[in-house]
């Protein structure tokens, strides 16, 4: 089988590839602005059929109890995806604008490989745990805990790292024994639809266990947060939408798992190598044009070295121009859409209005009149209360802010509605550890350390979300425990 975009015009419902009742909608290449094909445009009726299939597969088949079938299907899927890696990587660059170098890692190959980690968990997780004896009300009881799947999962995902986020939801949910309806973002339907084709044609997943519903209408995905047949909504996206999902889910009291926005701080201590820190901060913010929730977008530097840090960061950004994502040397590709570019440009305008200085960038790159590109941009002259320092921009835009020592840096890092990730650069271990302990986020890197891996739980505090994705903690989000006792 070949993974061609022409094959992306079907939904996967109840094990079958079927056209959507809403016809199709356009898929646009963000680097060229060209319509490159079509995706299935599901309606609420298609979503109803998908939820029905998932419910039936959970309630009437042995899927949730058959650990070895789940492990086998997940490994089959991993192997089939990796066998198509070249086609998937090329299409991911075309659809997402993801730089080619990232498709060999977190934009496709890494997360596909990680499905094997979840297959191993399906097999090796301690599904029952002995709690020993106790004498409640004077009666001797032998107790145990059993772990079982939550049920039907509605997975709603964004466009920025579509494969990573889709697999980080379907991998653990299916391994746990849940059945799933996946609803990807309208900007990146192919990433999910083509996985649906591989599932239907190259794996033994039983019908209804995994359903994939693409749609141009956000309202179709919203059904997953209201429908009583869905037991858990696993959502990744903006904080504003996450709040709506949580509110909607309260009516039928489903479990809600949220991975939301971020405004993470890159803290440079006064004993750090300033040049390497600023180069790393510049590299991080331009990667995939800054469209990553965990990207560090506030650079906190010692006040006495502010000018030096501005110069070093400006030089580093000057060496990272936006380029064609298909070029293997490109780090900064386009933004996903015209709307996203308008949003980023609006924030750059706002920085100027608030009295900030644009040290480099601030506009569209010369010579690129097609594609949703924005220049890597460095903003100085504003403090942490500025809107560009408080709100998520989701573009290649870095705000540099001076701090007055380690405690002040931690204070500024925490002065944010978000709490997703962060980085600290320094030399003294004790001081580094104090900063790591002080910052309220779900992940922290030290001196360029990379925490991202299948076995590492990822998630946030405050407005960055509820729960953890990946790792054993991410798998356990899809489980319920059942306590069982018998007299002895």
Residues forming the site for ligand NAD (CB under 6 A): 156-160, 165, 183, 185-186, 218, 221-222, 225, 236-238, 241, 244-245, 259-262, 293, 392, 394, 420, 464-465
Q: Would you say 295 or 310 has its CB closer to ligand NAD?
A: 295
CA distance 246 to 165: 19
Tokens of 192: 């999910």
Q: How many whole angstroms separate alpha carbon 399 and alpha carbon 379?
A: 5
Which of 486, 480, 488, 405 minimizes the C-alpha distance to 232?
A: 480
Backbone dihedral angles phi then psi of residue 342, each to the nearest 5 degrees: -60, -40
**Closer residue to ligand NAD in complex, CB, 26/86:** 26
For the annotated catalytic residues, the residue numbers are 259, 293
| Residue (211 or 225) nearer to ligand NAD, CB | 225
Closest residue to ligand NAD, Cβ-based? Answer: 237
Residue 431 burial by CB count (10 A; 0-12/13-18/19+): exposed, middle or buried? Answer: middle
User: Smallest gap, in angstroms, from Cβ of residue 207 to ligand NAD?
Assistant: 24
CB 445 within 8 A of CB 451: yes
**214, 42 contact by CB (below 8 A):** yes
Question: Shortest approach of ligand NAD to residue 469 CB, angstroms?
Answer: 6
Closest CB 475 distance from ligand NAD, rounded Å: 16
DSSP 332: B
Q: Of 242 and 321, which has the nearer Cβ to ligand NAD?
A: 242
Q: Minimum Å distance from CB 123 to ligand NAD?
A: 27
Alpha-helix runs per DSSP H in 205-358: 218-226, 239-250, 274-286, 306-318, 338-353
Report CA torsion sign: 303, 308, 312, 315.
Answer: positive
**Closest approach of ligand NAD to the CB of residue 198, in Å:** 21
User: How many degrees, rounded to 5, is the angle at CA 328 between CA 325 and CA 331?
Assistant: 60
Residue 432 or 463 having the CB closest to ligand NAD: 463
């Amino acid at each position: 089988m070949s993974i061609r975009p022409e094959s992306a015009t079907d939904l996967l419902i109840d094990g079958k590839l079927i056209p959507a009742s809403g016809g199709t909608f356009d898929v646009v290449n963000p680097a060229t602005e060209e319509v490159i094909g079509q995706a299935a445009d599901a309606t609420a009726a298609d979503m109803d059929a998908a939820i029905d299939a998932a419910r039936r597969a959970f309630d009437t088949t042995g899927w949730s109890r058959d650990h070895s079938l789940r492990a086998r299907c997940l490994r089959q899927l991993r192997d089939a995806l990796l066998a198509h890696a070249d086609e998937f990587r090329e299409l991911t660059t075309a659809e997402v604008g993801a730089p080619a170098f990232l498709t060999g890692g977190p934009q496709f190959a890494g997360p596909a490989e990680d499905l094997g980690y979840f297959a191993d968990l399906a097999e090796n997780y301690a599904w029952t745990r002995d709690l020993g004896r106790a004498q409640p009300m004077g009666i001797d009881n032998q107790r145990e805990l059993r772990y079982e799947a939550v049920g039907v999962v509605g997975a709603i995902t964004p466009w920025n790292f579509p494969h990573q986020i889709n697999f980080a939801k379907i991998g653990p949910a299916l391994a746990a024994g849940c059945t799933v309806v996946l609803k990807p973002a309208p900007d990146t339907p192919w990433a999910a639809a083509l996985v649906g084709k591989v599932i239907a044609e190259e794996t033994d997943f039983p019908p209804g266990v995994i359903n994939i519903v693409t749609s141009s209408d956000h309202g179709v995905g919203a059904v997953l947060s209201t429908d009583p047949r869905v037991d858990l909504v696993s959502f990744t996206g903006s904080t504003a939408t996450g709040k709506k999902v949580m509110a909607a889910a309260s009516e039928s009291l489903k479990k809600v798992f949220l991975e939301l926005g971020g405004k993470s701080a890159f803290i440079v201590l006064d004993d750090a190598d300033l040049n390497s820190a600023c180069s790393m901060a510049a590299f991080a913010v331009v990667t995939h044009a800054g469209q990553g929730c965990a990207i560090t977008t506030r650079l906190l530097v010692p006040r006495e070295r502010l000018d030096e840090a501005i110069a070093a960061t400006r030089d580093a950004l000057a060496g990272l121009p936006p380029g064609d994502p298909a070029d293997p040397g490109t780090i900064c590709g386009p933004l996903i859409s015209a709307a996203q570019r308008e949003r980023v440009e609006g924030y750059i305008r706002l920085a100027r209005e608030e009295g900030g200085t644009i040290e480099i960038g601030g506009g569209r790159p010369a010579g690129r009149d097609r594609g949703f590109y924005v220049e890597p941009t460095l903003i100085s002259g504003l403090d942490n209360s500025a809107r560009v320092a408080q709100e998520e921009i989701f573009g290649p835009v870095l705000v540099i802010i001076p701090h007055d020592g380690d405690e002040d840096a931690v204070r500024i890092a925490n002065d944010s509605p978000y709490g997703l990730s962060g980085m600290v650069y320094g030399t003294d271990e004790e001081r580094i550890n104090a900063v790591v302990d002080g910052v309220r986020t779900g992940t922290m890197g030290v001196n360029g350390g990379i925490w991202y891996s299948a076995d590492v739980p990822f998630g946030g505090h405050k407005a960055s979300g509820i729960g953890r994705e990946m790792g054993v903690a991410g798998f356990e989000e899809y489980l319920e425990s059942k306590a069982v006792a018998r007299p002895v």
